[in-house]
Structure 1
Amino acid sequence: MINVKVNLRPLVSKLNLPTVLKTTILPGDSIERLFIATQVGEIFYIGNGSLRTFLDIRPRILKLGTSEPGVSRGGYDERGLIGLAFHPRFYYNGLFYLHYSVAGTQGPGALSKRFKPNPCDPDTLNLRWTNRETQYDHIDTVEEWMLLSNGQPQKRRTLLNLRRPFFNHNGVNSLNFSPETGKLVLTTGDGGAGYDPFNLSQDDMEIAGKIIEIDVAKNTFINNPPVVTRFNELPVTVQETLTVIAKGVRNIPGISFQKANNRYIKYVGNVGQDLVESIFSFVQYKPVPVTQLIQASIMNSIPDQEGFINFGWRGWEGAFPTSTKKSCSENPTLDEKTIAYFNEAIKTSVKRLQPLTSYYHDDPRSDKFGGTALTGVQAYMGNGIPDLMGNVVFTDLARREESQSPVRGVLAYTRVRTDCKLNDFSVIKTNYDFGSQSAYYVSLGTNLDQTRLYLGVYGSMKVTDFNQGTVFEIVPGS
């Protein structure tokens, strides 16, 4: 693949964690502006060269950087404001959507101790999430807001209240509108803790681990919708607004749509467990109405899932059966990898979607890198960086190479092969000096016509370390 070089042009600095980067045109305005949502609950936009506050919901966000009350996680967290999407007709109707973790909902978690599957102990591979009303980590909400004529945003309705078992794998950049259907697409992670201990991602009734379309044109005004974990717990009027595009999700940094020959290629990245990060692409799909899934569950039958996308998790991690590492006592330098969910890997081996590309946590090739976690996937259709036009750009949080200090994130790209086989990827070289500061690449965004790319960078892994964020535009390099 072609070696691509880019520059990073700073747009704004000293932000909190910039988790979502989107552009839109404000009602009455004529310029497409970049909006930045931070994990702690602020939404800014860049207007006339200055940073302006659009909305501040920090009081609505639960206290980040802790697990159960009073217990520190060292400042690392995956909760907070994790989704922002503007309605396709935002300029006319002022509607936008938020996904965030609700203040005051911190629970003890779904398990009393850290989960680690042991292939030698089947009991650790087939756990059940019980006592869900009390054994959970927090509650996430998906809300519809409206920008009023006086310029003030106001909450209009709640679409979903979701009880989450663990603090992580809630999704990020989790709300996006489909240009195909006009529906709001919600990407939910598997619930967290690693290895999907309750196998929520493959269970058709579980909301976790899915890609879900929400028909926001259906005005379902329900005061205080119930807090749920399963589709069949939702009111019928809410069930009727939902279709499921995909299951087998571990954790997704959003979904990107690329128009090609009057059709849309969908790109989705699935964050890996131990071995590999994977990016998937698909064009054809047949979403399954939630009401149909529920009816099949009641009848104890298998719903029609022809064209239903399955990414394979937890049986598969990208193109690999999900493994666990066992220490080799005779030679501790060797890693013995055991297939943790052999039966599930077999059951989903044919049904699952193959990745477009994968990159590895350990990669001996000199022109590649060892990854940590996929944080963004965006199609690029601009001609400003000609070698990237029509390609898919992605970001990894941090290079895994131990010798590298301070930390640096990674930009890379790939593209769909005409023969639809697994493709390679290439690292994008960036010409920017971060000095002695760490640079975790935490988010990737684009403008409405996908001709510009934006990168969110943070100087720390801790959400409790404030004001260390910078947003860059990715521009042509030399």
Structure 2
Amino acid sequence: MKKVKVGLRPIVSKLNLPTVLKTTRLPGDSIERLFIATQVGEIFYIGNGDIRTFLDIRPQILKLGTSEPGVSRGGYDERGLVGLAFHPQFYYNGLFYLHYSVTGTQGPGALSEHFSPDPCDPKTLNLRWVNRETQYDHIDTVEEWIFQSNGQPQKRRTILNLRRPFFNHNGVNSLNFSPESGNLVLTTGDGGAGYDPFNLSQDDMEIAGKIIEFDVVKNTFIDNPPVVTRFDELPVSIQETLTVIAKGVRNIPGISYQRFYNQYIKYVGNVGQDLVEALFSFVHYKPIPVTQLVQASLTKSKIDQEGFINFGWRGWEGAFPTSTKNSCSANPSLDEKTIAYYDESINTSVKRLQPLASYFHKDPRPEKFGGTALTGVHPYMGSAIPSLTGSVVFTDIARRNESPTRGVLAYTRVRTDCKLSDFSVIETDYKFGSQSAYYVSLGSNLDQSRLYLGVYGSMKVTDFNQGTVFEIVPDS
């Protein structure tokens, strides 16, 4: 693929972890502004050359960097404010939506010890999440807010309260609006711990590990729903507002839409376990109403899932059957890899969606890189960087075994023959010096003619004010 070099133009610095980058027009405003949501609970926007606070919900965010009350996890965390979406008619109705981890909800976690599947021990392959009301990590909430005429945002209602088994895989950039249906889309993640120990991602009744659409117009009087983990625990009036687009999700940094004539290509990235990160694309899909899923569960009948999207996790990690690694300490290049869930890999082998492109945690090929975790996927439809026009740009949080730490910017293109696409690293001209630079988020403006990159100087959410947001611009 063609080598591409770009510039990084700093827009704002000394932020906390910039997890979501979106643009919209404020009611009564004439220009599109960049909004930045930080993991600790702040939302800023860029106005007239300076940064302004739009909303600050830090007191409502769970204390980050702890694994249970008072116990530190070393500052790394995947909870917090992880989703922000503006209604397509935000300019007129002022509605926007938040997804965050709620203060005071810290629990002990669903398992008391580290989980790793052992193909030789069936007990490790078929765990069940029991005692969910006491054995969980935290509660996430999805809320509807309104930007009032006096310029002050105010919460209107709670749409979902979701109990999570572990601290990680809650989704990031987890809220977006579908330009096809007009519905709010939530990407949930499998609940965490690695290897999806309870196989929540393939269970049709589990909210975890899915892409879900909310009809936010239907039954707008619903508020304060119960705290749940499964669709069948929701009141029927809420079930009727939900459809499921996809399952088999490990963790997704959002969903993006690229207009192609009179339809949309959807792009998502599924964060990998130990071997591979995967990008997916699809156009046609068959969503399933939650009421149908619940009815099928009650009657113990099978529902037609032809056309329903399945990313394959936990049986598949990208284009590979999910594997466990047995390390060869004398020679790491000989690490043994064993299929973790052979039966599940077989069962989902044909049903799953094939990746658009994959990249690997170890890659000996020249001009490639060893990845860590996918953090953003966006189509680029601008003309300022012609070499990228029409391509799919993605970010990885950190190039493996590089010091000082640097994230990776790369791109791929959709092949017309449906074969796995190659990818190419995008070179950048910015000099970070000795400072670490983790690429934590990727965003775009409304017509996808501009791309924004969120960078952080640490992997710890407890290290404050080390974030910078850049615009990706032509190389100077």
| TM-score category of the 2 structures, normalised to the smaller one | over 0.9
Secondary structure of 1:454's aligned partner? strand
Task: After TM superposition, give the deviation of residue 219 of structure 1 in Å.
Answer: 3.1
Q: What 5-or-longer segments of structure 1 have no aligned partner?
A: none
Secondary structure of 1:67's aligned partner? strand
C-alpha contact (below 8 Å) 2:190/2:196 kept by paired residues: yes
What pairs up with 1:102-121 in 2 under 5 angstroms?
102-121=102-121
C-alpha contact (below 8 Å) 2:82/2:174 kept by paired residues: yes
What pairs up with 1:245-260 in 2 under 5 angstroms?
245-260=245-260
Task: After TM superposition, give the deviation of residue 122 of structure 1 in Å.
Answer: 1.0
What pairs up with 1:323-472 in 2 under 5 angstroms?
323-328=323-328, 334-400=334-400, 402=401, 404-472=402-470
Give the letter for the 1:169 counterpart: H
* TM-align CA RMSD: 1.0
C-alpha contact (below 8 Å) 2:318/2:355 kept by paired residues: yes
- CA distance in 2 between counterparts of 1:331 and 1:384 reads 47
Give the letter for the 1:213 counterpart: E
Give the letter for the 1:25 counterpart: R
Deviations 1:412-465 (A, max 9, x none): 000110111110000000000001100000000000000000000000000000
Secondary structure of 1:158's aligned partner? strand
Secondary structure of 1:88's aligned partner? coil
- CA distance in 2 between counterparts of 1:232 and 1:259 reads 34
Q: Which residue of 2 aligns with 1:16?
A: 16
Q: What 5-or-longer segments of structure 2 have no aligned partner?
A: none
Deviations 1:99-122 (A, max 9, x none): 000000000000011111111111
Task: After TM superposition, give the deviation of residue 405 of structure 1 in Å.
Answer: 1.1
- CA distance in 1 between counterparts of 2:88 and 2:438 reads 31
Q: Which residue of 1 aligns with 2:241?
A: 241
Larger displacement relative to structure 2 (412-421 or 270-279): 412-421
Task: After TM superposition, give the deviation of residue 222 of structure 1 in Å.
Answer: 3.4
C-alpha contact (below 8 Å) 2:137/2:166 kept by paired residues: yes
Q: Which residue of 1 aligns with 2:179?
A: 179
Note closer, same or farther for the CA distance 1:246–1:332 as it changes in structure 2 (3 Å cut): closer
Task: After TM superposition, give the deviation of residue 218 of structure 1 in Å.
Answer: 1.2
Q: Which residue of 1 aligns with 2:138?
A: 138
Runs of 4+ in structure 1 deviating by more than 3 angstroms, as ranges, are 327-333
Secondary structure of 1:26's aligned partner? coil
TM-score, scaled relative to structure 1: 0.98
Secondary structure of 2:375's aligned partner? strand
Task: After TM superposition, give the deviation of residue 332 of structure 1 in Å.
Answer: 6.6
Taking only the aligned residue pairs, the percentage that are identical comes to: 84
Note closer, same or farther for the CA distance 1:59–1:302 as it changes in structure 2 (3 Å cut): same
C-alpha contact (below 8 Å) 1:220/1:238 kept by paired residues: no
Task: After TM superposition, give the deviation of residue 67 of structure 1 in Å.
Answer: 0.6
Deviations 1:329-351 (A, max 9, x none): 89675211110100000000000
- CA distance in 2 between counterparts of 1:45 and 1:173 reads 16
Task: After TM superposition, give the deviation of residue 150 of structure 1 in Å.
Answer: 0.3
What pairs up with 1:150-229 in 2 under 5 angstroms?
150-229=150-229
Deviations 1:150-171 (A, max 9, x none): 0000000100000000000000
How many residues are aligned here? 476
Note closer, same or farther for the CA distance 1:330–1:362 as it changes in structure 2 (3 Å cut): closer
Give the letter for the 2:82 counterpart: I
Larger displacement relative to structure 2 (294-303 or 8-17): 294-303
Task: After TM superposition, give the deviation of residue 262 of structure 1 in Å.
Answer: 1.4
Matched, 1:92 2:92: yes
- CA distance in 2 between counterparts of 1:280 and 1:45 reads 30
Q: Which residue of 1 aligns with 2:279?
A: 279
- CA distance in 1 between counterparts of 2:327 and 2:114 reads 19
C-alpha contact (below 8 Å) 2:159/2:223 kept by paired residues: no
Task: After TM superposition, give the deviation of residue 286 of structure 1 in Å.
Answer: 0.7
C-alpha contact (below 8 Å) 2:173/2:254 kept by paired residues: yes
